[in-house]
C-alpha cells in the first residue's frame, strides 16, 4: 500500500467523521426529541445522585389530606367548617402563613342554607326548624377564619375563556416588555368564591404542567392572564409570609442583558431575593429527598387529637402548605425523585428552594457552549482518530466523554448549572463508531501490509510539521452591563506645588497602592491611573454577578482606608503624606462598550460609554455636595435595601441633557439599620419633596430640625448647601416649569 493510498485512507476516515459531526450538529440545532428526552433523564439522574439539601425545610411544613384523613373525617370535600378549624388551629400554633393548594370555587353544599333548600325542594323544609336556613354559611365561616390568619388561596388557570379576571393582591412590577412570546398566557381561570378570595391575604395559581414524559422539572412562577402578570402559589406564599412588596419581573430587554431578545423572562426579584427563571418564567426545581420532609396528617389537627404544644413545634414560624396526597383527590404528579407525589409537595419544595437561595440554572449561554463542545471534541476526534489508531482513539474518546460528563456533573454540584452532556457525548460516540469502521479496515490493513513488506522494501518515513497560526487581536469590543468607579484626590494640584516631582511620585505610590489592593480584592479591573485619579470597572473581562455591590463596598473601603492613612502616614518616614488627604468617588452602572481599543499599532483593554462619563461627573459633584461618595440612579437601584444611601439631588451634569437622581453612599448594612440614619433618610427625602414642590418653608423646617443628624453622618455640607440654595430661591423664585433639577456648570 503506497503512501498516497495511506493518506487517502486517512482523509476518507476524517471526512466520514466530519460528515457525522455535521449530522450531530443538525440534530442539536433541531433539538431531536429522543435526545431531548435523554437530556432530561441525565438531569434527573444528577438530581437523584445529588438531591438538594433541605436547608429550607425548617421554614416550610405540609399538612397532608392523606388516605387516613379521608377515612377518619369522611369523603372529600369536607365541610368548610373543618377547614376553618384547621386554619384556626394552625394560626393559633404560630404558622407564619397558611397556603391552600385547594381551589374553593364552588359553595359548600353542606352549608345550612344549602341543606334547607334541598329539604324544602323535597317538601320537608318545616322539619328543619325555624331559622336553620338563616345560619351563617360554611363559606362565610371559612372566610372569617381566613381574615384572622395570613392565608393564601389557589386557583386554576385555563386556556379557554372562562371565569372572571384574576386580580392579584400585589401585582408584578415589570422591567421591560411584557414577555408574551414565551411566558404562558391564559384566557380563563377557575377562581375561589369572591368572599373567600377577598378574605385571603394572597392568591396564586396552582397549575402544574410536566414535560412530555409527565415529569415536573420546572415550576412556573409567573403567568399571563388576560394581559396581566399573575404569581404562582409558591411565590405568592413567600410574598405574604415575608411581608414583601410586589415582586419584580425582569424581562430580557429590561434586565441589562442586551444579548437577549425582547419577550423573554430573565429573573424574578422578591424581598431582595433574585430568582433566576427560564424565558418562560419557570424555575428549575432542585428537589430534596422525599424522606427529608415530614408531612403532618390533617385529621388529628382538625379533630384536636394533636396536642397544641406538638402542633406548635411542628408549624410555629413556618409557611404551612395544605394539600392532598389521597389518590381520590387527583393531585398527584411525577418528579425526578418520585413517581407519584402530591402536587402540594412541589409547591412547598419551590418555596423551600427560594428560601434556601439554592437555584438550578440552565444559562442562556449553555446551548452555545454545548455546540462549541460538540464542534471542538467532535472535530478533534474526527481529525485525530485516523492518525491515532483504534486503541489510542478509544482512549481519546473515553477521556473526552469522561471530561464532558465530569464537567457537567461538577457544574451541577458546584454552581447548580444544568449543562447538557448528551450531544457532546453523542458526537464523540457517533464519530468514533463511524470512523472506527473506516480506520479498522483501511488503517489496520495498511499497517499489516507495511510490516509484511518491510523485509523487502525500505519505505522512507514522511514527517510533516503543522504550524498553528497565532491568535490575532482585533479592534473592537462588546456591550456589557458594568459598574464604573472614578476616584480623585481633592486639591491634588495644590498639594503637588509643595513637593518635588519625586516626592509627588512617592506620595502617589503610597496612596494608589492600598487603593488598588482594595479594588483588586473586590474583583475590579483597573483601567488606568490618570495622575492622581483611578478609573476601575467591574464585570469584564470576567463575569461578576455581584459587581454593583462589589463596586459600592470597594468605595466604602477606600474611604475608610484613606482615613486610616491620614492617621498613620504622617508619623511614618516611609513616604511623603501631605496632611489630611480627602478623596471623592463617583460610581455608576449601566451599559458600556468594553474590549481591545486603540490603534493598529497599540491596543488597550478599556471601556467607553455614557456610564463612564457619568461616573466622572459624579466624582466631580462630590466637591459641590461635600460628600465622599456619590452614586447614580442605576447603581442606587441595584444596591438599595442593602447599604446606607441618602438621596441627594436631581442634577443635569455638563454634556448631558437628561437629569439624573444622585445619592450619597454613606455606609454599610449596619449604618443603614441604625435609627438615626433612618430618621435622616426620611427627613432628607421629605426635604427634597418639599424643595421640588417649592414648599420652601417646609424644606427649611426639615433642615432646621435635624442639624445634628446631618453632622453625625458627615453630611453637614449637604445641609448647608440646601439651606443656602433655598434662601436664594426664596429671594429669586424659579420660573414656571421649574422641576427642581440643579444645573451643574462644572465637570
What is the tens place of the pLDDT at every residue in 677-720?
999 999 999 999 999 999 999 999 888 888 888 988 888 889 99
**Rg of the chain in Å (alpha carbons):** 34
Closest CA to 344 of 326, 364, 366: 326
**Could you read off the pLDDT of 234-255 as tens digits, one per residue?**
999 999 999 999 999 999 887 6
Which cell numbers hold the place of 18? 466530519
d(Cα 370, Cα 425) in Å, to the nearest integer? 10
Average pLDDT over residues 2-31: 71
> Above 50 in pLDDT, residue 381?
yes
Per residue in 92-140, pLDDT (tens digit) is 999 999 999 999 999 988 877 777 777 777 766 565 555 666 678 888 8
For residues 229 and 185, give the distance between their C-alpha atoms in angstroms, rounded to a whole number: 9
Give the per-residue pLDDT at 525: 85
Average pLDDT score, the chain: 84
pLDDT for residue 111: 77
Asked if the model's pLDDT at residue 455 lies above 60, the reply is no
DSSP state of 182: T
Q: Count Cβ neighbours within 10 Å for each residue of 706-738 and write b for 16 or more, e otherwise.
A: beebbeebebebbbebbeeebeebeeeeeeeee
Grid coordinates representing 122 are 323535597
* Residue 84 scores a pLDDT above 50: yes
Burial 433-468 (b: 16+ CB within 10 A, else e): ebbbebbeebbeebeeeeeeeeeeeeeeeeeeeeee
Q: Tell me, what DSSP letter sits at residue 674?
A: S
Residue 180 makes CB contacts below 8 A (sequence gap 6+) with: 224, 263
- In this structure, what C-alpha cell is assigned to residue 194? 369572591
Q: Which residues contact 548 (CB under 8 A, 6 or more apart)?
A: 483, 538, 589, 635, 638, 639
Distance CA 636, CA 611 (A): 14
The three-class DSSP label of residue 661 is strand
Residue 191 has pLDDT above 60, yes or no: yes
**Dihedral Cα 655, 657, 661, 666, nearest 10 deg:** 0
Average pLDDT over residues 369-394: 79
Lowest mean pLDDT among 330-344, 587-601, 652-666: 587-601
Closest CA to 746 of 617, 633, 626: 617
Asked whether residue 1 carries a pLDDT value surpassing 50, the answer given is no
Model pLDDT, residue 183? 92
Compute the distance between CA of residue 723 and CA of residue 711 in angstroms, rounded to an integer.
14
Largest CA-CA distance found in the chain, in angstroms, rounded? 121
Q: Which residues lie across from 100 on neighbouring strands?
A: 322
What percent of the chain is predicted at pLDDT more than 70?
Answer: 87
Phi, psi of 277 (to 5 degrees): -130, 165
Can you tell me the distance from the alpha carbon of 46 to that of 39, in angstroms, rounded to the nearest whole number? 11
pLDDT at residue 327 in the model: 82
3-state secondary structure of 730: helix
Mean pLDDT on 522-527: 87
CA distances from 590 to 103, 145, 177, 336, 608 (A): 44, 48, 18, 40, 11
Lowest mean pLDDT among 280-294, 386-400, 648-662: 386-400
**What pLDDT shows up at residue 395?**
83
What grid cell was written down for 675?
Answer: 435609627
Compute how many other C-beta atoms are within 10 angstroms of the C-beta atom of residue 327: 12
Separation between Cα atoms, residue 19 and residue 42, nearest integer Å: 26
State the CB neighbour count (10 A cutoff) for residue 492.
19
Q: Is 324 left (phi over 0), alpha (psi -120 to 50) or beta?
A: beta
Rounded Cα–Cα distance for residues 238 and 286 (Å): 18
Which helix or strand (DSSP H or E) is residue 471 part of? none
Average pLDDT over residues 667-674: 92
The pLDDT of residue 451 is above 50: no
Rounded Cα–Cα distance for residues 581 and 574 (Å): 16
Collapsing DSSP to helix, strand or coil, 316 comes out as coil
Amino acid at each position: 500500500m503506497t503512501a498516497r493510498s495511506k493518506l487517502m485512507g486517512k482523509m476518507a476516515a476524517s471526512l466520514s467523521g466530519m460528515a457525522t459531526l455535521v449530522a450531530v450538529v443538525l440534530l442539536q440545532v433541531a433539538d431531536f426529541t429522543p435526545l431531548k428526552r435523554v437530556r432530561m433523564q441525565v438531569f434527573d439522574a444528577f438530581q437523584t445522585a445529588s438531591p438538594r439539601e433541605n436547608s429550607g425545610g425548617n421554614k416550610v411544613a405540609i399538612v397532608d389530606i392523606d388516605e387516613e384523613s379521608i377515612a377518619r373525617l369522611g369523603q372529600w370535600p369536607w365541610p368548610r367548617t373543618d377547614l376553618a378549624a384547621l386554619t384556626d388551629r394552625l394560626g393559633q400554633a404560630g404558622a407564619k402563613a397558611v397556603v391552600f393548594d385547594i381551589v374553593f370555587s364552588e359553595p359548600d353544599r353542606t352549608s345550612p342554607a344549602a341543606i334547607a333548600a334541598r329539604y324544602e325542594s323535597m317538601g320537608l323544609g318545616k322539619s328543619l326548624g325555624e331559622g336553620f336556613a338563616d345560619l351563617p354559611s360554611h363559606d362565610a365561616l371559612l372566610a372569617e377564619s381566613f381574615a384572622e390568619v395570613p392565608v393564601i388561596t389557589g386557583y386554576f388557570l385555563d386556556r379557554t375563556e372562562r371565569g372572571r379576571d384574576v386580580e392579584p393582591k400585589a401585582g408584578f412590577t415589570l422591567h421591560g416588555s411584557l414577555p408574551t412570546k414565551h411566558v404562558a398566557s391564559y384566557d380563563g381561570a377557575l377562581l375561589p368564591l369572591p368572599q373567600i378570595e377577598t378574605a385571603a391575604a394572597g392568591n396564586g395559581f396552582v397549575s402544574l404542567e410536566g414535560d412530555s414524559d409527565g415529569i415536573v422539572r420546572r415550576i412556573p412562577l409567573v403567568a399571563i392572564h388576560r394581559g396581566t402578570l399573575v404569581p404562582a402559589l409558591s411565590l405568592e406564599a413567600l410574598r405574604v409570609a415575608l411581608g414583601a412588596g410586589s415582586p419584580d419581573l425582569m424581562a430580557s430587554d429590561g434586565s441589562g442583558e442586551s444579548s437577549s431578545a425582547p419577550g423573554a423572562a430573565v429573573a424574578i426579584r422578591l424581598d431582595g431575593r433574585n430568582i433566576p427563571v427560564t424565558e418562560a418564567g419557570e424555575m428549575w426545581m432542585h428537589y430534596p429527598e422525599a424522606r427529608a420532609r415530614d408531612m403532618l396528617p390533617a385529621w388529628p389537627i382538625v379533630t384536636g387529637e394533636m396536642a397544641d404544644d406538638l402542633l406548635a413545634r411542628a408549624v410555629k414560624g413556618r409557611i404551612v402548605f395544605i394539600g392532598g396526597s389521597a389518590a381520590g383527590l387527583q393531585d398527584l404528579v411525577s418528579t425526578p425523585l418520585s413517581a407519584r407525589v402530591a402536587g402540594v409537595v412541589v409547591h412547598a419544595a419551590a418555596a423551600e428552594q427560594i428560601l434556601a437561595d439554592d437555584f438550578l440554572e440552565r444559562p442562556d449561554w449553555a446551548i452555545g457552549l454545548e455546540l462549541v463542545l460538540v464542534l471542538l471534541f467532535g472535530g478533534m476526534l474526527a481529525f485525530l482518530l485516523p492518525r491515532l489508531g483504534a486503541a489510542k482513539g478509544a482512549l481519546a474518546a473515553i477521556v473526552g466523554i469522561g471530561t464532558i460528563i465530569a464537567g457537567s456533573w461538577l457544574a451541577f454540584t458546584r454552581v447548580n448549572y444544568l449543562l447538557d452532556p448528551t450531544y457532546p457525548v453523542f458526537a464523540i460516540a457517533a464519530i468514533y463508531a463511524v470512523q472506527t469502521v473506516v480506520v479498522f479496515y483501511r488503517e489496520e490493513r495498511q499497517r499489516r501490509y507495511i510490516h509484511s513488506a518491510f523485509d523487502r522494501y525500505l519505505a522512507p518515513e514522511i514527517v510533516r510539521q503543522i504550524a498553528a497560526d497565532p491568535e490575532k487581536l482585533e479592534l473592537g469590543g462588546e456591550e456589557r452591563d458594568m459598574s464604573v468607579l472614578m476616584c480623585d484626590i481633592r486639591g491634588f494640584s495644590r498639594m503637588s506645588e509643595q513637593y518635588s516631582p519625586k516626592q509627588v511620585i512617592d506620595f502617589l505610590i503610597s496612596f494608589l497602592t492600598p487603593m488598588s489592593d482594595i479594588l483588586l480584592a473586590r474583583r475590579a479591573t483597573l483601567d488606568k491611573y490618570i495622575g492622581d485619579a483611578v478609573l476601575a470597572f467591574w464585570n469584564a473581562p470576567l463575569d461578576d454577578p455581584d459587581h454593583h455591590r462589589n463596586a459600592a463596598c470597594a468605595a466604602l473601603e477606600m474611604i475608610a482606608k484613606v482615613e486610616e492613612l491620614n492617621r498613620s502616614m504622617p508619623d511614618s518616614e516611609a513616604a511623603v503624606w501631605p496632611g489630611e488627604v480627602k478623596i471623592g468617588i463617583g460610581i455608576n452602572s449601566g451599559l458600556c462598550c468594553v474590549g481591545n481599543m486603540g490603534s493598529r499599532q497599540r491596543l488597550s483593554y478599556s471601556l467607553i460609554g455614557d456610564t463612564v462619563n457619568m461616573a466622572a461627573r459624579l466624582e466631580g459633584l462630590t466637591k459641590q455636595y461635600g460628600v465622599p461618595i456619590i452614586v447614580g440612579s442605576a447603581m442606587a437601584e441595584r444596591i438599595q435595601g442593602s447599604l446606607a444611601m441618602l438621596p441627594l439631588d436631581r442634577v443635569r451634569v455638563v454634556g448631558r441633557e437628561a437629569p439624573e437622581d444622585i445619592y450619597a453612599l454613606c455606609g454599610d448594612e449596619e449604618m443603614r439599620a441604625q435609627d438615626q440614619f433612618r430618621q435622616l433618610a426620611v427627613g432628607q427625602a421629605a426635604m427634597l419633596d418639599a424643595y421640588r414642590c417649592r414648599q420652601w418653608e417646609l424644606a427649611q423646617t426639615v433642615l432646621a430640625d435635624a442639624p445634628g443628624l446631618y453632622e453625625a453622618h458627615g453630611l453637614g455640607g449637604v445641609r448647608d448647601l440646601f439651606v443656602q440654595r433655598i434662601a436664594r430661591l426664596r429671594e429669586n423664585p424659579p420660573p414656571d416649569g421649574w422641576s427642581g433639577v440643579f444645573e451643574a456648570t462644572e465637570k
